[in-house]
Structure 1
Amino acid sequence: MSLTNTDKSILITGCSSGIGLAVAHGLKGRGYRVFATARQLSDVTRLQQAGFEACQLDLDNSDSIRAAVDWTLQQTGGNLYALFNNGAYGQPGAVEDLSRDVLRQQFETNLFGTLELTNLLIPLMRRQGYGRIIQNSSVLGLITMKYRGAYNASKFALEGLTDTLRQELHGSGIFVSLVEPGPITSDFRKNAYAKFKQNIIVKGSAHQQTYEAVEKRLAADPDPDKKDPFTLEPDAVLKKVIHALEAKKPKARYYVTVPTYLFAYLRRLLSANILDIVLRRAADSENR
């Protein structure tokens, strides 16, 4: 079935800032009917003031997920072209300092809520005979880095579920793609610092010295004159999302930023021990 952009509707999670907001603006400007969602009502209001059809969607809350789906389908008359699962956050901390509850919270947002939302929309897309599901993963769904164990695990799990889903939906007319960004300009670091302060006990940890360096880094205001050459603006992700939405045969994976391409290559090339050395050094260099 051939659809023009004006016929295409898309539901996007995590539109309060960063990638979600940039993709929402970019697709709206391209003629898509964008349903932008955010966890906080204040962000929903801001999205509405910016001209979006927007509603609250808290990935940690099943009632909120169902209400957002019901509202979206009421607006569209029961059809939906695409879903962009973008909502997520990062929980810093060494694995040995993560409680069961903290790890569960990470998975509730980054995996379980995403799964529930996706599964509510798959039957609709099956009835239509078409649809696009795009998962915003991370380079940390390909490789791991120290003190990001909760986030690493959630993204590795998302990749596994998504690869399986793509196989299971083959022939249905529904295409499933992963987007794997490296460093992107966003509020991710600020939000990660808040979660670190909330959930990680620094004093007495075997990693206390590193944590103090992490706190110093995360709390510091970024120097506007010192731009990381590997950090891209969110529009870099938008370009990949557009291809995943509009290509006749979208890719299974879309890499974004040089570090993602580099580490994906090194993962295939190097032994586990050598790759560990490279990744340890990369993580250590951040906190010097």
Structure 2
Amino acid sequence: MRTILVTGCSSGIGHHAAHALAARGWRVLATCRQPRDCGRLRAEGLESFPLDQGDETSVARACEQALDLTGGRLDALFANGAHATPGFAEDLPRDALRAIFEANLFGVHDLTRRLIPALRAAPDGRAVWCSSVLGFAAMPWRGAYNSTKHAMEGLADTLRLECRETGPRVILIQPGPIATRIRTNSVPHFERWIDPGASARAAEYARLQARLRAPEPEVPEGHRAHPGRVTRALLRALDAPRPRARYRVTRETRLAEGMRRLLPTALRDALLSRAG
């Protein structure tokens, strides 16, 4: 039985992946930021304990607990947990960027480096990070999230090169639009850090606020935006004898990559600015 630690399992991508991996015979350590969500996952039959990527103490405690549970063995990590802080970049205070980088990047780095010895000792250890199409194609309103994922791509590339001979294998998954709760979950971060009324772009925030509070879409299994699309890419990343450095999920991600390679910056900016 192979063992994997998955972060961000309360809903969406992490929740689907944890259950799918368990169904395939993996021992899944399914972590969440909130203890109440861990209780729900345990009721669903998963092993679960808290891990808040934005809290260094929580990361250290969770790594210790994971290795205690497995006798020091770990075959894979799927670092999926992240949040968004919507708003114009000009309105993001420094502390807003500190907070999102702690959760989306620094926590992933800290978690991975603490687990590298166990992953390196596994027969074919793998560290899979969930990036995004926004890790290479920026879009308006998403400056905080864009920047964490762009930084993640550079850090993962470096780690992959440095671990080429020693392991573990370092792999990025780049989902496009997937039906999760990330938009709903971003509302408290928006309300904490952004003051629309004080912004020079106040009139434009009405459209953003309407989108943030719109109902999350429900999509069936097999739909291109279903979290299962990411799970399938994750399974390929975990099982392939020679995994790719990147797995692009959804046609939007592949289209954005084609635009990045083929279109001049001015034309790409014109298209992406309207897509926001």
**Matches for 1:147-226 after TM superposition, within 5 Å:** 147-222=141-216
1:31-81 Cα shifts (integer Å, max 9, x gaps): 000000001010010011111111100111111111111111111111100
Residue 231 of structure 1 and its aligned partner are, at CA, apart by 5.3
**Paired residue type of 1:242:** L
Residues 221, 115 of structure 1: CA spacing in aligned structure 2 closer, same or farther, 3 A cutoff? same
> What is aligned with 1:254?
247
- 2:235 paired with 1:242: yes
1:113-142 Cα shifts (integer Å, max 9, x gaps): 110000001122234453100000000001
**1:230/1:258 contact within 8 Å kept:** no
**Matches for 1:1-288 after TM superposition, within 5 Å:** 6=1, 8-128=2-122, 130-222=124-216, 232-283=225-276
**2:180/2:216 contact within 8 Å kept:** no
TM norm structure 1: 0.92
Residues 180, 224 of structure 1: CA spacing in aligned structure 2 closer, same or farther, 3 A cutoff? closer
Residue 195 of structure 1 and its aligned partner are, at CA, apart by 1.5
CA distance in 1, matches of 2:77, 2:164: 17
Residue 220 of structure 1 and its aligned partner are, at CA, apart by 2.0
Residues 223, 62 of structure 1: CA spacing in aligned structure 2 closer, same or farther, 3 A cutoff? closer
**Paired residue type of 2:263:** L
**1:137/1:180 contact within 8 Å kept:** yes
**2:52/2:59 contact within 8 Å kept:** yes
3-state SS of the aligned residue for 1:179? strand
Residue 222 of structure 1 and its aligned partner are, at CA, apart by 4.6
**1:141/1:152 contact within 8 Å kept:** yes
TM norm structure 2: 0.96
CA distance in 2, matches of 1:21, 1:262: 27
Q: CA RMSD in A?
A: 1.7
Which stretch shows the higher mean deviation, 207-216 or 99-108? Answer: 207-216
Residue 218 of structure 1 and its aligned partner are, at CA, apart by 1.4
3-state SS of the aligned residue for 1:183? coil
Residue 269 of structure 1 and its aligned partner are, at CA, apart by 0.4
**Paired residue type of 1:74:** D
3-state SS of the aligned residue for 1:203? helix
Residues 260, 28 of structure 1: CA spacing in aligned structure 2 closer, same or farther, 3 A cutoff? same
CA distance in 1, matches of 2:118, 2:25: 22
Residue 221 of structure 1 and its aligned partner are, at CA, apart by 2.3
**2:132/2:176 contact within 8 Å kept:** yes
The structure 1 segments of at least 4 consecutive aligned residues displaced by more than 3 Å after TM superposition are 127-130, 222-225
Gaps of 5+ in 1: 1-5, 284-288
Residue 173 of structure 1 and its aligned partner are, at CA, apart by 3.6
**2:77/2:128 contact within 8 Å kept:** yes
**Paired residue type of 2:195:** I
Residue 224 of structure 1 and its aligned partner are, at CA, apart by 5.8
Residues 15, 223 of structure 1: CA spacing in aligned structure 2 closer, same or farther, 3 A cutoff? closer
Gaps of 5+ in 2: none
Which stretch shows the higher mean deviation, 186-195 or 134-143? Answer: 186-195
**Paired residue type of 2:75:** Y
What is the aligned residue count? 275
CA distance in 1, matches of 2:21, 2:163: 25
CA distance in 2, matches of 1:217, 1:124: 43
